[in-house]
Amino acid sequence: MGVYTRAPDVTPPQPAPSEEIAATYAWQPTLAFLRYTVVAILAASAVFIFIIFVFLPDQIPRALGPGMLSLVALTSWGLLRRGRTRDAVLLLAGGVWISVTVIATLYGGIRSTIYYVYPLVIFLLGWMISTTAAVVAAGTTSAVTIALILADARGWLPASLPAEPILYGVVQIFVYLLTAAMVIYLVQAYRRQLQALQQVSEDMRRANAVLRQSELKFATAFSSSPAAASIATLAEGRLIEANANFERDFGWSISDLRGITAMDAGLWPDASQRELWVNTLKQHGRTVNYETVWRHRNGKLRHVSIAGEIIDLDGVPCILAYTTDITARKAAEEEIQRLAFFDPLTKLPNRRLLMDRLEQAMAACARHQRLGALLFIDLDNFKTLNDTHGHDMGDLLLRQVAQRLLGSVREGDTVARLGGDEFVVMLEDLSRDAVEAATQAETVGRKILAALDELYEIRTLSVHSTPSLGATLFGAQVENLEEPIKRADLAMYQAKAAGRNTIRFYDPRMQSLLLARAELERDLRAALQQDQFVLHFQPQVQRGGLVAGAEALLRWQHPQRGLVSPGEFIAL
């Protein structure tokens, strides 16, 4: 299946442990050898000068060479202390080479005592700088050697006394010691490099073992995932791998999908939907519970939730996706939504949804300076139908009423069932003029009256049912949600009192009467508890002035209103 890695982060990669080891130890033998070389040059130069001045006073001009070498060594030491290692190497090698060339030219050519130092300089450059530097130094030294031989043959070199054997001995000992040190430190350097390589090899072995274990875990998780897992290229969506659940949920096996794109398979109904998902992935690197719609192989649309992330597969950006079919869950959510906000019998909005829409409509009225209207509808004599023919017949009638109401209003208006045989129609975006808005509402109300007044064919029965409509406007002032409902309800009862099968608008005087009635009922209960009723007897007189009996009259002695006539409270 290839090597799977996450897409690279924006932070730069950190060096591996083996790289850190190599970086730590690469210069340690070289620095130690450089310090040893500087000290050796200074020591050899001091011994050389001491022998000349003490034992060979006639050879004092030969002290020029050790002086030049000492100056080069001291300058290189200063560069080493300031951390300029490469500059120190170049100065030391170049200075020594120039010094040897000058000394050889002045004191005997290739027979000079210091000529044996050239190989050490070439080796030093090759070890510490590069093989190119060693080749260049070797070529230049060869040219100088040839030039010195020709100059010596033609007598062009300056005349000089032959060097004493002791001077040869000092130089030879210096070369021996420096060669031995170079071998020692070179072996140490190679040993450290070998250890570093062994560490790198061990790190790679461990990394490969971890990688193989990770691939095995990934393959196991991929194949055993309860979701439909797939891998596709990021750019075009070409399918590379899929597990068995992909065929279970969407009808496609990996043999069918491998090599074709998701659009070729028809998984995405619209290319723009995949493009939107890919852009989200590119922006965030991954998606969790990304809901969209896929198409099953049988052509049916399925609601899915995708958890995906961008990975690197053998250097190619790909998408690892786990897709879950949530069609059943979405259907359950829709059912819960329907039960919460819709009447199960008529499929109309229930009271909860009506109040929510009424709140939005009242806010829109205030914002746009428009009016709305509520029509409260109650079926006349509906209880008689239920009692005589059963509730199932009543339910069928309510369903037909709902359909006729929907056919009598505009598409943007709301028809709701509050319960029983009570319906409410909410009209929005009416005129800002109250009279004109009332006229518009009345027009719709008359249309509803006509629609509901027609015969209902319910199974084998022909049923006639009339409605009573109460209407009120809203949006003219700020009020709570219950107020328009109450006004429309009161207006509906006024329509029933007017003979039914008619429409009435809310009358404020009716509200005052109802409030007075409610207050009278409350006071009447208190009167019974507080013995505020007074009994009066009115004599019954016959002809001739004879009292034949008495008529008992009940009066209410109200503490604030005084004597209340029976005509006001007997009806209660």
Strands 461-463, 414-419: parallel, antiparallel or unpaired by DSSP? unpaired
In the structure encoding, which two tokens stand for residue 137, read together?
């130094």
Query: What are the phi and psi torsion angles at 450 (to 5°)?
Result: -65, -40
Find the angle CA(261)-CA(263)-CA(269) to the nearest 5 degrees: 155
Cα gap 209→214, rounded to integer Å = 8
Q: What whole-number distance in Å separates Cα of residue 3 and Cα of residue 148?
A: 64
b vs e for 505-532, b when ≥16 Cβ sit within 10 Å of the residue's Cβ? bbeeebeeeeeeeeebeebbeebeeeeb
* CB proximity list for 284: less than 8 A, separation 6 or greater: none
Query: Would residue 531 show up in a list of annotated catalytic residues for this protein?
Result: no
Q: Which residue among the candidates 249, 343, 421, 489 is catalytic per the annotation?
A: 421
Q: Report helix, strand and coil shares of the chain as percent, to nearest 5.
A: 60, 20, 20
- Taking the alpha carbons at both ends of the chain, their separation in whole angstroms is 88
| Residue 295 CA: distances (Å) to CA of 232, 265, 287, 304, 368 | 17, 9, 20, 10, 43
Give the count of beta carbons closer than 10 Å to the beta carbon of residue 461: 13
560: exposed, middle or buried (C-beta count within 10 Å: 0-12, 13-18, 19+)?
Answer: exposed
d(CA 565, CA 572): 13
Distance CA 274, CA 261 (A): 12
Radius of gyration of the chain (CA): 55
Contact by Cβ (8 Å): 416, 353: yes
From CA 93, how far away is CA 128, in angstroms rounded? 10
Give the residue numbers annotated as catalytic, written as ranges.
Answer: 421
